[in-house]
């Protein structure tokens, strides 16, 4: 902290007038932009609701995003990225100069090349090469885009996953979902705009950083949903607490938090206020969206979903139900 910013240091008159002048200029510019329609000035804008929908920079083609991240899945060399030359060197030692000076854990210089174990064929009008282990996906290859330009220097699961979902191997960077919500907001009022499901017994190796908000306000981080009728722990009222009592308690808590926010201006206090209100609305909306029993038998069979259980198929169906509700 420098001498000017230190709260115990006297403020210089010239510095005070300079800072006030900058602030007044910003206020004037904001007012002009509001009158011209370039800045939102209503009480319902992002200043009051950071998750309010924002206007995109260009006409969008997508309304919602369902992102399937399957950590630990088969290698791209066995799915979409055919390497016929690699197959010619299967079982052979690499040239000495190939790995010379390269240091990485789990890499043995005496390791042999491993070629593809499955056959590839071209499909669709685009002629994309798809492995024989994905026969159904090969039938709709013209409807998907295969990106082969991604690369990483990470050789461990955790940093590689964090880089894939945040753009950096270092902790503290916003995830893809957090950036999306930060830039576009959410149409959903009763459910989080960014929901995360986990199909296995544990989440990805990268942990919560894979859906975290990083240096953005925490209101933009993903909310982890569990399987079953109680997606978020302790969401329902405990015995003896009526809806009216809870509403009164939340109103009182909101008043206290708002006073603290007005005093210190910490955006995390605003996040806490929004979190309490979202949890209150989710008490009725979350159990409804998680009830797969509302789906037809045909839909359940199409997804391979089983109500009451936790599985990848169930999560795919739940993702569709969330999208239908504005998430």
- Beta-strand ranges (E) seen in 101-201 are 120-123, 128-131, 195-197
* Burial of residue 187, with CB atoms counted within 10 A of its CB: 0-12 exposed, 13-18 middle, 19 or more buried: middle
Nearest Cα neighbor of 275 from 250, 252, 245 is 250
Domain that holds residue 294: 45-61+154-327
192 domain-assigned: yes
| pLDDT (0 to 100) of residue 56 | 81
Residue 64, SS3 per DSSP: coil
Residue with tokens 């997804």: 303
74 domain-assigned: no
For residue 301, pLDDT over 90 is answered with: yes
| pLDDT band per the 50, 70, 90 thresholds, residue 4 | very low
Q: Find out whether 211 and 203 touch, Cβ atoms under 8 Å.
A: no
Q: pLDDT tens digit string along 174-207?
A: 999 999 999 888 888 888 899 999 887 777 888 8
Structure tokens at 89: 């060197």
139 domain-assigned: no
Kindly report the backbone phi and psi dihedral angles of residue 123, in degrees, each rounded to the nearest multiple of 5, phi listed first.
-135, 155
Show the CA angle centred on residue 116, arms to residues 152 and 103, nearest 5°. Answer: 35
Q: pLDDT tens digit string along 58-93?
A: 888 888 899 998 887 788 899 999 999 998 899 998
Residue 18, SS3 per DSSP: helix
| pLDDT band per the 50, 70, 90 thresholds, residue 36 | very low
Nearest Cα neighbor of 191 from 296, 46, 319, 306 is 319
* Burial of residue 288, with CB atoms counted within 10 A of its CB: 0-12 exposed, 13-18 middle, 19 or more buried: middle
How many C-beta neighbours within 10 Å does residue 233 have? 8
Total count of domains within the chain: 1
């Amino acid at each position: 902290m420098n001498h000017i910013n230190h709260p115990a240091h006297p403020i210089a008159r010239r510095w005070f007038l300079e800072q006030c002048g900058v602030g007044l200029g910003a206020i004037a510019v904001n007012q002009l932009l509001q009158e011209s329609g370039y800045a939102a000035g209503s009480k319902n804008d992002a200043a009051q609701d950071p998750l309010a929908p924002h206007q995109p920079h260009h006409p969008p083609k997508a309304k919602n995003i369902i992102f399937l991240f399957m950590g630990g899945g088969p290698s791209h060399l066995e799915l979409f990225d055919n390497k016929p030359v690699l197959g010619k060197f299967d079982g052979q030692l690499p040239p000495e100069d190939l790995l010379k000076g390269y240091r990485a854990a789990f890499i043995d210089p005496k390791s042999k090349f491993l070629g593809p174990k499955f056959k590839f064929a071209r499909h669709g009008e685009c002629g994309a090469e798809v492995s024989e282990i994905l026969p159904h996906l090969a039938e709709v290859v013209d409807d998907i885009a295969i990106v082969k330009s991604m690369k990483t220097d990470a050789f461990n699961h955790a940093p590689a996953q964090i880089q894939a979902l945040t753009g950096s191997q270092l902790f503290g960077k916003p995830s893809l979902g957090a950036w999306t919500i930060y830039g576009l907001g959410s149409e959903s009022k009763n459910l989080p705009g960014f929901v995360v499901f986990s199909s296995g017994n544990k989440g990805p190796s990268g942990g919560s950083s894979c859906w975290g908000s990083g240096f953005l306000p925490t209101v933009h981080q993903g909310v982890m949903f569990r399987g079953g009728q109680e997606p978020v722990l302790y969401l329902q009222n405990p015995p003896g607490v009526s809806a009216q009592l809870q509403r009164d308690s939340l109103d009182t808590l909101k008043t206290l938090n708002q006073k603290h926010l007005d005093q210190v201006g910490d955006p995390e206090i605003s996040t806490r206020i929004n979190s309490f209100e979202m949890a209150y609305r989710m008490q009725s909306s979350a159990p409804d969206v998680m009830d797969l029993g509302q789906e037809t038998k045909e839909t359940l069979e199409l997804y391979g979903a089983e109500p009451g259980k936790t599985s990848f198929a169930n999560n795919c169906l739940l993702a569709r139900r969330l999208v239908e509700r504005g998430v």
